[in-house]
Chains A and B, each alone.
Chain A
Amino acid sequence: MFFHIVLERNMQLHPRHFGRELREKLVSKLMKDVEGTCSGRHGFVVAITGIEDIGKGIIRDGTGFVTFPVKYLCVVFRPFKGEILEATVTMVNKMGFFAEAGPVQIFVSNHVKIQKDSEVRLKIIGTRVNATEIFCIGTIKDDFLGVISDPAGS
């Protein structure tokens, strides 16, 4: 599911950027740093849509770098166990198939004849999270789940 949430991050900025464009520099660095990343807790950060607040900077001892706490509004994609969603089949093999729902990959095992590029409705039954990725296991064996449309049929 996609969410619109406020996240916070401490941004370090080199003193050479201090000046009129400090805010712009901070925002563009924030976008570069966090857009496209993934954390187990908040999921994939798809896009930053606004800056809520930039706090007072604190000078770090010894380096001259300044740390600003920045609160920003962003669109994240976070899959949940038990969630039902639609996805596109990207690969089929002997064990099952892989489907994609936005940035996340979902593996579904043990299928009956499914084609690449089909659209399926599936339920997430497990998630595996590491530092930079979320991977899901899904099923299509339940009421109202399964293939919605396949490329040959349409």
Chain B
Amino acid sequence: MSGEEEENAAELKIGDEFLKAKCLMNCEVSLILDHKLEQLQAMSDDPSNQVSQVFEKSLQYVKRFSRYKNPDAVRQVRELLSRHQLAEFELCVLGNLCPETVEEAIAMVPSIKSRGRGHDDEAIEKMLNDMSLIKKFE
């Protein structure tokens, strides 16, 4: 349990296993789960008793809290964010919450400032602007 004690997402302490793993933004999860649901529906007449409660709740959640709906926009956002030397986890927090100001972005992802990757306010602001542009032209 000692690993549990030190866990802190604000400092990017989420365990090696998850740090290296691929994170998913809500909008990406929505695409994956929709696809899976379609497959299940194609295979059987009554898909409702096949999906778990966890699946159902997750799908509802990601539908409600997806910033980007269009698959192309989802891809663009990931591409854009991955150009900024962010950890997977940081990338997805930004993609999910879409902060509007630099101050907000730093409050949401405190680790962005602490790792010395040359993220000055200007670079962050540019990134946020680009994100909102994708949203606007979705």
Contact = CB atoms under 8 A, between A and B. Distances in A.
Interface of A: 1-5, 35-38, 40, 44-47, 49, 75, 77-78, 80-86, 88, 100-103, 119, 121, 124, 127, 129, 142-144
A77 B61 CA distance: 11
A121 B52 contact: no
Q: Which of A40, A84, A127 has the most CB of B within 10 A?
A: A84
B23 A2 contact: yes
A36 B32 CA distance: 16
30 contacts: A1-B89, A1-B92, A2-B23, A2-B58, A2-B92, A3-B18, A3-B23, A5-B17, A35-B52, A36-B55, A37-B54, A45-B54, A46-B29, A47-B58, A75-B24, A77-B54, A78-B18, A82-B7, A84-B9, A84-B93, A84-B108, A86-B65, A100-B61, A102-B62, A103-B54, A103-B57, A119-B64, A127-B4, A143-B103, A144-B104
A84 B14 CA distance: 13
A89 to B, nearest CB: 12
Given A75-B32, A84-B108, A36 B54 contact: yes
Q: Which of B11, B51, B61, B64 has the most CB of A within 10 A?
A: B61
Q: Which of A1, A44, A85 has the most CB of B within 10 A?
A: A1
A147 B96 CA distance: 16
Tell me whether chain B's interface is mostly helix, strand or loop, or mixed.
helix
B8 A82 contact: yes
Contacts, number: 118
A36 B33 CA distance: 13
B42 interface: no
B127 interface: no
B132 to A, nearest CB: 16
B26 to A, nearest CB: 7
B84 interface: no
Contacts of A44: 54, 58
Interface in B14-70: 14, 17-18, 21-26, 28-29, 32-33, 36, 51-55, 57-58, 61-62, 64-65
For the complex of A and B, list the 5 residue pairs with the smallest distance between their C-beta atoms, beginning with the closest. A36-B52, A82-B9, A82-B10, A83-B9, A102-B61
Q: Which of A47, A121, A144 has the most CB of B within 10 A?
A: A47
Contacts of A77: 54, 58
